[in-house]
Structure 1
Amino acid sequence: MENSSCLGYEVMDFLGEGTYGVVKLAYSKRHQKEAAIKIVKRRPSPHCVVDKLLPREIQILKTVEHQHIARVLEIFDELSDGRVFVVMECAKMNLQEKIFDLTRVPIGQAKAWFSQLLSAVEYLHQQDIVHRDLKCRNVLVTADNQIKLAEFGLGRFYAGCFYCTADYAAPEVITETPRDAKKSDVWSLGVILYTMIVGTLPFRGVSLRGLVEAQKKPVTFPYGIPVDEDCRKFIEFILHVDPSTRPSVTEVANHPWMKIEKDQEW
């Protein structure tokens, strides 16, 4: 990758694509460890990326600091060729890949990881920041089994609006009705927890209208997958279709089900 060597990074592999731009694995000579580099080309990116999304992401990344949010090592946003490099700590894999490997995450481990994710999102909401794209692929799992929230490409300081990947999006997001973006983040958290425990997404639809209709029905759990009644009720508590009765992230974090017993952890 042109420019990376002179900045002190040796590219090793391609990791994937973010909301916009690509992410590559590199070795940092300065930090003496591997790092993930998100590369965004200002040209020919759409104006909404260059003028809105990218500046917001950089502002958020420069603001946040939390043990369960992927740490930014450096940001190079004034390179002569118009590209932006966001250098972050990397992780072994993302949560989507981890679930695929395990088929399902054991309840104790799911509770521990969900607690860490909740602490990250609660921190963001306290700073009046909404993530707007919470999903398993944007949650990293480190080599020592810690959760790190990443990918703030759609994040913004709270202003009541929201967008998200459809399968993780709240009903009010899909129908584009007036909404509380923080409550929409909470819905996405409920989808993530369900996916960890069951191994599949809770709602499916061949169209957005079909997805909304599925979301209006009671949450179901596949036959043969053991999910105790308390856990089912907790997930139902999070996935309230009406955002006015949906809990805040703090209410989710303080729910009795979240009282983790150490002997339950993986």
Structure 2
Amino acid sequence: MCTEKVLRGMGYKLGVTIGEGSYSKVAIKIVDRKKAPHDFVHKFLPRELTLLREVRHDNIVHVHEFIEVCIGQLYIVMEAATTDLQKIQEVNSIPIGQAKTMFSQIVSAVNYLHQHNIVHRDMKCENVLLTWDNKVKITDFGFGRFAMGYPELSSTYCGSAAYAAPEVLLGVPYDPKKYDVWSLGVILYVMVTGCMPYDDSNVRKLPRAQRKASVYLDDVTVEEPCQLFIAYLLQFSPSSRPTIQQVSTFLFHS
């Protein structure tokens, strides 16, 4: 009751859809500091809140305000989305033209982050939200942070194994920006095929599979230029893998 009363006083109403206004809808992410894991509350949450206050980009979810209600509860009021890439993939692959438009928006957002020395480190389909008109909104900065220099983050494993770069899985020093680029390659593969490029059921064997060229099922048509671009992103060696600036240049001049 305390929560609802405070939010009502600020113009919000809890429900499936929260705070619908004249021009947009908002979603509220609820964090209970008392029940959340210690590492999340004291390490990952502060990082996420710091980054959310810093970033401003059309393709990154915008946070309207942070509300502390009662004791230990934090409400993050942000723009709402209708779905995410993961749910889209459960239905089918995305047509190549639409995939290129969406992927270009993802690259634009990550390019913005890297230009500001911010790394996401958990890029995956679930963290790519889509609005009603299929506009991309990157979200979930729990593993994000400011990257002061390679290989500063070399000892930190984070993210999802299915989207993790081989150097991260192998536990060797890594460039977090090149990690983000690898994850984008996996996302693009999923977008145009509707399936994952690698079997992540055995994480120890995953780097061996990542050394090999991506395989495309016979019943999935992916044009050769797109296959070559995915291979360009999924370079096993980080030194051969492009930077996000190079990816952006390639996309917007092709």
Identity percentage of aligned residues: 44
| Aligned positions, number | 245
> In the alignment, which of 19, 23, 26 is matched to residue 18 of structure 2?
26
Counterparts of 2:93 and 2:217 in 1: how far apart (Å)? 12
The answer on 1:80 being equivalent to 2:31 is no
Match of 2:15 in 1: 12
Which structure: greater strand fraction?
A: 1
SS in 2 for 1:26: coil
Q: Which amino acid aligns with 1:34?
A: K
State the one-letter code of the partner of 1:194: Y
Whole-angstrom distance in 1 between the partners of 2:24 and 2:252: 34
Partner of 2:162: 167
- Distance in 1 (CA, whole Å) between partners of 2:78 and 2:71 is 21
Task: Find the counterpart in structure 2 of residue 238 from structure 1.
Answer: 233
Residue 83 of structure 2 aligns with which residue?
Answer: 93
Report whether the alignment pairs 1:184 with 2:176.
Answer: no
Secondary structure of the 1:241 match is: coil
Match of residue 3 from structure 2: 3
| C-alpha distance in 2 between matches for 1:216 and 1:5 | 55
For 2:142, the equivalent position in structure 1 comes to 153
Name the CA distance, whole Å, in 1 between partners of 2:199 and 2:162: 7
Indicate if the aligned counterparts of 2:111 and 2:245 stay in contact, CA closer than 8 A. yes
* Partner in structure 2 of residue 210 of structure 1: 205
Residue 56 (structure 1) aligned with residue 59 (structure 2): no
Q: Structure 2 matches for 1:213-224, cutoff 5 A?
A: 213-224=208-219
- 1:186–1:247 Cα contact (<8 Å) kept: yes
Whole-angstrom CA distance in 2 between matches of 1:56 and 1:219 = 34
CA RMSD in angstroms, aligned pairs only = 1.8
- Could you tell me how far 1:60 is from its partner in structure 2? 0.4
TM-score by length of 2: 0.90
Q: Does 1:40 align with 2:35?
A: no
Give 1:155 shift. Answer: 1.1
C-alpha distance in 2, partners of 1:176/1:5? 48
Structure 2: gaps spanning 5 or more residues: none
1:115-148 CA-partner distances (Å, limit 9, x unpaired): 0000000000111111111001111111112111
Quote how far apart the aligned CAs of 1:34 are: 2.7
Deviation at 1:172, TM superposition (A): 1.1
Q: TM-score, normalised by structure 1?
A: 0.86
- In structure 1, stretches of 5+ residues that fail to align are 14-24, 261-266
> Secondary structure of the equivalent of 2:104?
helix
Residue in structure 2 matched with residue 140 of structure 1 by the alignment? 129
Structure 1: distance between partners of 2:146 and 2:130: 25
**Does residue 1:109 correspond to 2:112, yes or no?**
no
Q: 1:66 is matched with which residue? A: 57
SS in 2 for 1:140: strand
| Deviations 1:2-48, CA, capped at 9 Å, x for gaps | 514422321222xxxxxxxxxxx41256x774311111111133332
Alpha-carbon offset, residue 258 of structure 1: 4.8
Code of the aligned partner of 1:149: I
